[in-house]
Chain A
Amino acid sequence: MAHPKLEVSWLRKSFPGLDVIGGISAAVQKGEFISIVGPSGCGKTTFLRIVAGLEQASGGEVRLDGRVVREPGADRGFVFQSDNLLPWRTIYDNARIGQEIAGRSGAAERQRTMDMLKLVGLEGFEHYYPRQLSGGMRQRVNLARALAVDPEVLLMDEPFSALDAQTREIMQTELLRIWERGRKTVLFVTHQIDEAVLLSDRVWVFARRPGRLQEVIDIPIPRPRDLSAKRTPDFVALVDRIWRLIEHDVRDSVLHENT
């Protein structure tokens, strides 16, 4: 097997009196699309934030192309749950902020920003301000901004959870299309099991208390995929299998949050 793109070993995260992540080891190959699902409180978002360098691990390490990751960098692109666009910047200037921070401002970078905006379907909106765009369009800019730095790994934290159901399905197919074009390595956190199955090569199922990798499920559905895959028996069986893995934890977390 090839050297993994991303390698996580014995990753732990704890706050006083609370173990959020209790030792996770896993590897991601170049070009793999991995989704992370699990009940709330399983540490999936914290895990992603540690990989991004936005939070420090309490133990263990994350390696990207063999180098230990300790802080944020342009080799990872983070797509946030809310679009987090800078309201005073135009769409174009928002999309290129990662390159700007890295001090890259050549013609090639400008072209890449334009290409990414085009890829997410926002050609012609370069000079608009974020407030002039719909939620779905702003989330596209969020994605283009992360892609514009041409990251080794794309980290996506429930990027579609704030969108309505129809927009979300459209964004899922858009993401499939975009991913087919570049085959980036992706870590995608979601609480929607069907979203995870539709998008991923493999689904990591997390369990809670403390957060840990319970099982890795391969998704052998042929690509390229579209929304019709959701109606196939294989798809339904996979969703069902993953749901049964986390069902107990989810019920448990719901009960705990209600008492």
Chain B
Amino acid sequence: MTEPGNAVAEAGGTPPHTTTAPADARPPRPGKARGGWWGGDASEPVRRNLGLVGVLVLLYLIGVFSRPDIFASGARLWSNELTVLTQAASIGVITIGMTFVMISGGIDLSVGALLALASVWSTTVATQSYGPGVMIFTALAVGTVAGAVNGILIAYGRMVPFIATMALMVAARGLSQKISGKLTQISKVDTINKIAETKVLGIPLLVIIFGAVAAAGWILLNRTTFGRRTVAIGGNPEAARLAGINLRRHQVLLYALSGLCCGIAAIMVTSLSNAGSSDHGNLYELQAIAAAIIGGTSLAGGRGTIVGSVLGVLVFTQITNLFIVNNLQLEFQLIAQGAIIVGAVLIQQFRVAALRRPAPPGA
């Protein structure tokens, strides 16, 4: 109500000067310099994420000082970082899906539970009997369908994303307990179990999967109509709707995408533990949301990057790793993670405020 914009609208009939808008004196800037498929806005997130890269460097330096035996030796650092990345992989995949949902202005609290459900469903005795292909398909399908249920509740049931996905967070966990009888379901399918052990050119397959999902996510967000719709809906849902974008259908697709990521992560976690369990993915929703926020994704929607989210996951996992290699208690690790979240959000708000300084008046 006190925003000058409203008052300007009210006072529309009383302009102080009657100049006609000046003809544009400046020649249009040459638009080609950064054109092309990879060009244009791609360097933007890199600049925006320099701070996160700085935090990673800082964490590395802390590592060098506290455990020089690991962080100052090339070979041991390499193997330690591969461990970090392997741990980050399943959370990372989920964070990519979460990033899309959050950019659209939503949130998905059910990711951890959907992971558990997908892992349990794909490792029942019956499913295992059909072999690895059907197991993978089952995990992906269960995640996607459950995610779509989230989307349908939100888009067509007009439920707040927080509530709808919280309902599925509880219900999917319960369903996975029912299916497994609260027992760990050992995977006897070698192909699945070996995924976590496989290395391609010295890099664990899980890390490669994370990288592939992140790359696909980047392309989807920045280079496709799907991504454009996502950003538009998050930036201004009413404007998107009035421009003819089918808001509801897109919401269903977004939560299905998040569910699909849960299915992928379920296979990764199953492979790491050689089992499906209703306890898998516990608190993953908090970690994924935190990682996305650290990466600069706004809870209010409209803003966020894949690169930022990947860096957010790495920061989060690297902190955990530092605490483990220094034999510090879990409690301190949690406190540090909380501090990082607060710091990241404060910095983000500061930046947004700077971005939104009042526009120069007049035409």
| Real binding pair | no
Q: Which residues of B contact A (CB under 8 A)?
A: none
